[in-house]
Amino acid sequence: MRRPVMRALLALLVVGSVAFALLVGRAEPTPDLSRGVDGIAAWLNRLTDECATVRRHDDFAEFAGPVRAKVYAPFIAEWGTCSKEPYERLGLLVLRPGLEQAWRTALANGEVRGDPDLAFGNGFALTGSEGMEYLGLNRLECTLTACSLIPIKHH
């Protein structure tokens, strides 16, 4: 009778440790946006041991495509890329206010459909989708009248 109790206690300890590790991982401070994309890269590197080198590029439309560049570019204070599995070029974006309204306007004009394909933090975004739930990032769900930040959940 003692072994099942010990196994149950051990299982609770393991589950609690994993839950604590996930909470601590998500509780990591946000990127230092005063350092621009270098601050985002340093934050990602602390969390994942990847994204050590930031590359800056001139042509955002070449990276994001012409439609997304038209909507996103006016609201990007700085951008660059880094390598973080599974992405060869993960986009790092420091944002200015107004992207939500621009997306709703583009929706109303039929220029875009659905929601922005970015993972959002506070004042920044990443272009990836895989693994973003582990970073505590959000997706932006938009209708013609409003946008809401929704935590990305693990599926």
* pLDDT tens string 29-57: 789 999 999 999 999 999 999 999 999 98
Please choose, from the candidates 139, 126, 138, the residue with its C-alpha nearest in 3D space to the C-alpha of residue 83.
126
Please choose, from the candidates 79, 90, 75, the residue with its C-alpha nearest in 3D space to the C-alpha of residue 129.
90
Residue 115 has pLDDT above 70, yes or no: yes
- Cα–Cα distance for residue pair 39/84, rounded to 1 Å: 15
pLDDT digits (tens, 9 = 90+) for 58-74: 899 999 999 999 999 99
Q: What is the pTM of this model?
A: 0.79
How is residue 17 written in tokens? Answer: 């440790």
Q: What is the CA radius of gyration of the chain?
A: 19
> Tell me, what's the pLDDT at 100?
95
Name the residue with tokens 């599926």: 155
Per the rule left: phi > 0, alpha: psi between -120 and 50, beta: everything else, 20 is alpha
Under DSSP, the state recorded for 154 is: P
> Tell me, what's the pLDDT at 44?
95
Longest dimension (CA), the chain: 68
> Tell me, what's the pLDDT at 9?
36
CB burial class (10 A; 0-12, 13-18, 19+) of residue 63? middle
